[in-house]
Amino acid sequence: MRLEDEYRSLRHGAALSRMDHVGLVRVSGDDATEAVDAICSGDLWVRDGRMLQTLILGEPGQPVADVYVCPDDDACVLMFEGITTEELSACLAEYADPELAIELEDLRPAYELISVNGPYAWEALSKWLTPDVIGLPYLSFYHFDRGTCFRAGKTGEYGYDLAVRSGYVERAWEELLELVGALGGGEASLETLDLCALENGFFSVRHASVEGLTPLELQLQWRVSARKRFPGAAAIEERRAKGMERRLTHFVAREGVESGDPIRDADGPVGQVTAAAFSPGIGGVAGMALLDLSVAHPGIDAFFVTGPNVERPIRTVSSPLLFNRSLLVDPHRHTYATRDETSDPPLWLGSLP
Amino acid sequence: MTTNLSDYVSSREAVLDRVRRMLRDTMKLRIEPEAIDPDVPLFGTGLGMDSVDAVELVVQLDAVFGLTLAGSPWVSAKLRTVNTIVDAILELGNET
């Protein structure tokens, strides 16, 4: 499918994606939680069956992995992107107390990850799994006979990540593809998932442009503990004491803006574009930029992206950029077949510069 | 920085600071207001607010800023991050 078609599926119906870029491990043993706590930047205050979104930082304080921690009986399941399972294992070996009794199992050979996202994703899942999936709270999971269903997602829509036994995954894919097809959807590529994540302000550890940035500049302080030690904690404290100079800020533009482009105002440089992509929902470019802290605010029309012989205006905006359809869809009252979008507000409530 | 931009940033930062303090007090967070990022999600992830917190937040926004959200359409679009709350408060100021 074309990206525009994939995008429409995901933003208005449901879309199915392969999650080959995501790692999945199970850390088990009496000290599993303590070991995972030692490598993650956030406080692991999360109950069995729930999920916590956190980070693993490098010593310079830069995020190297975006992680869901999922306590499951005497174990922790970790779903992560940004590093390999081998790198995660090395991180545990370096930072967790070697006396801790833990065992790490790579679940990827036995399971594959696929995801269903969209305002009606719950409808596909309720038919494929059980109607009870409608009541599954955001950031929680449950096991079924052939895998695990994680209620998560990074698109701003209803999202479900499914760890499905490898021997069953192709059948599951075909069945789910048929179900999302009935919801006006189909397959969505990683590119479409990334675009939707950008529009909704989700952090992507796979963007090369986040290199050298800490959770302070990335607006991810909520994923950083103020009470414990973790890899990168010293660098965070140092950056905090020194004072933050720049902050990630969202913007929109009509066209012609790319990652790495410099940004200036009438007086001179104020920052740099870190990510940008054309958004069908906005009808223009959605982007993120690292701006000088003194002007890192939404609602500013004074900036330009500069290139050879051209100046393109940008407008800083608040995140999320879209009014997601999932905010208007109630699984207990609505269905895709009986939907009426005529009275819905547009996806994008703003205007372009 | 031009005067207009400087004025806008000053007024925005003043409202941002007040909203951060209100959220810290409402949520009983043991952190400095500056540790609440402007684009942090209010619900689900981020500050992890729930429906009970949402009711308290709506009451506080009305009491402190005169921002009446109860019963207004598209309220969910205005209560997504600290910045979307600040946007709504600044819009209120522009309307009066």
Contact A56, A12 (CB under 8 A): no
At B18-52, the pLDDT tens digits run 999 999 988 788 888 999 999 999 998 898 888 88
Half-sphere exposure of A167 (CA within 13 A, CB side): 2
What residues does each domain of chain B span?
3-95
Residues of B in contact with A139 (CB under 8 A): 44-45
CATH placement of domain A3-196: 3.30.1360.120
Residues of B in contact with A327 (CB under 8 A): 76-77
Contact A297, B9 (CB under 8 A): yes
Contact B70, B58 (CB under 8 A): yes
Q: Provide the b/e sequence for A276-287 (b: ≥16 CB within 10 Å).
A: bbbbbbbebbbb
Burial class (CB in 10 A: 0-12, 13-18, 19+), A174: exposed
Give the three-state DSSP class for A210.
helix
Burial class (CB in 10 A: 0-12, 13-18, 19+), A73: exposed
Interface of A with B in 206-235 (CB under 8 A): 219-222, 226
**CA–CA gap between residue A176 and residue A186 (Å, rounded):** 9
State ipTM: 0.93
Contact A277, A284 (CB under 8 A): no
Give the three-state DSSP class for B35.
helix
Residues of A in contact with B47 (CB under 8 A): 222
pLDDT for residue B96 is more than 60: no
Helix H or strand E encompassing A269: strand A268-279
CB contact under 8 A, B84 and A318: yes
CATH placement of domain A245-321: 2.40.30.110
List the one residue out of A288, A301, A281 whose CA is nearest residue A348.
A281
CB contact under 8 A, A267 and B1: yes
pLDDT for residue B93 is more than 80: no
**Local confidence pLDDT in tens for the 353 residues of chain A:** 799 999 999 999 999 999 999 999 999 999 999 999 999 999 998 999 999 999 999 999 999 999 999 999 989 999 999 999 999 999 999 999 999 999 999 999 899 999 999 999 999 999 999 999 999 999 999 999 999 999 999 999 999 999 999 999 999 999 999 999 999 999 999 999 999 999 999 999 987 667 789 999 999 999 999 889 999 999 999 999 999 999 999 999 999 899 999 999 999 999 999 999 999 999 999 999 999 999 999 999 999 998 777 889 999 999 999 999 999 999 999 999 999 888 888 999 899 99
Question: Of A138, A318, A345, which has the smallest distance from its Cβ to B87's Cβ?
Answer: A318
CB atoms within 10 A of CB B73: 7
The pTM of the full predicted model, rounded to 2 decimals, is: 0.95
What residues does each domain of chain A span?
3-196, 245-321
Class (C level, CATH) for B3-95: mainly alpha
- As given in the structure block, the two tokens for residue A112 are 């594959």
